Amino acid sequence: MKQEKISPRVIERLTKYLRCLENLNPEDYISSEGLAEKMGFTAAQVRKDLSNFGEFGIRGKGYNIRKLHSDIEKILGVNKTNNIILVGVGRLGTALLSEPEFTKESFNIAGLFDKDEKKIGTEIMGKKIRDLKEIEHFTSSKEDIAMAIITVPKMAAQEVCDVLVKAGIKAILNFVPVKLDIPEGVVIENIDLYGKLQELNYWKERKLK
C-alpha cells in the first residue's frame, strides 16, 4: 500500500468506478480495458488509479466486480455508516434529505439544524430540527459525527461554518455560493450550481457555432 500522495482527482475517479460497478453483475469479472471503456478513461488510467491502493485484479481475468466494489468502498470508508449533520433546513436542505441516495447505508443524516424558531422542534422526514446553537453539544455527545452539509442562506454561511469547525466537523459539503474560510485539518467540497451553469454557458456558445 503506497498512500503517500493521492490526488483529489484519483479519489473523484474512485467514486465514479464505484457508481459504474454498481450497475454490473457482481459475479462477473471486468478488465481494466472494459472498465475504462465504460468510464471514458484509458485502461492505463484505471490501472494507475487502483495501483495506488494495492493489487486488485487477477492477471488474465480482470477484476471481480463484487470484490473491486467492496475494496473501493473500503478505501473511501463507505463500507460502514458515516454520520452527517445538515444545517439549513430550507427548500434545498429538505430536497437533499429526500434524495433516494440518502437511504443507502453509507451515510446517515444524524441531525438537522436551523436557526428559524418556527422550524426548531418540528420534524421533517421523521427527523427533529434542532437549534443551531446545539450543534457543539450534539456532536460532542454523539460519536463519529465528522461531516456536515451546509444549505443555509449566503449571509449565514461563514458563521455556520465556524460553528461546525468548533464542533469538530472535519468535512463540509457546501451548497452556499461563497468561499468559506476553513482552518487546516478541515476539508470542504463546494457545490456551486450557478458557477456550473456559467461554465456550461461558455461551452454551449462554442457548441452552437
- 173 backbone dihedrals φ, ψ, rounded to 5°: -100, 110
Selected range binding a second copy among 24-32, 101-109, 116-124, 159-167, rule: CB under 8 A: 101-109
Whose cell is 436542505? That residue is 93
Q: How many CB atoms lie within 10 A of CB 14?
A: 20
Question: Is the CB of 43 or the CB of 78 nearer to a second copy?
Answer: 78
Selected range binding a second copy among 41-49, 129-137, 158-166, 175-183, rule: CB under 8 A: 175-183
State yes or no: residue 11 binds a second copy (CB under 8 A).
yes
Q: Quote the least distance from Cβ 100 to a second copy, whole Å.
A: 7
Report the half-sphere exposure of 137 (CA within 13 A, side-chain side).
6
**Who contacts 170 (Cβ-Cβ below 8 Å, separation ≥6)?**
146, 147, 185, 186, 187
Binding string, 119-138, against a second copy, x = CB under 8 A?
A: --------------------
Q: Quote the least distance from Cβ 189 to a second copy, whole Å.
A: 5
126 marked as part of a ligand binding site: no
Given 47, 48, 127, 170, the residue binding a second copy (CB under 8 A):
170
Is the distance from CB of 109 to CB of 129 less than 8 angstroms? Answer: no
Is the distance from CB of 167 to CB of 152 less than 8 angstroms? Answer: no
Given 133, 137, 142, 200, the residue binding a second copy (CB under 8 A):
200
DSSP assignment of 69-134, as one string? HHHHHHHHT-SS-EEEEEE--SHHHHHHHT-GGGGSSSEEEEEEEE--TTTTT-EETTEEEEEGGG
Residues interacting with a second copy, by CB under 8 A?
8, 11-12, 14-16, 18-20, 38-39, 75-78, 82, 84, 90-92, 94-96, 98-102, 104, 106-107, 146-147, 153-154, 170-173, 177-179, 185-187, 189, 191-205, 207-208
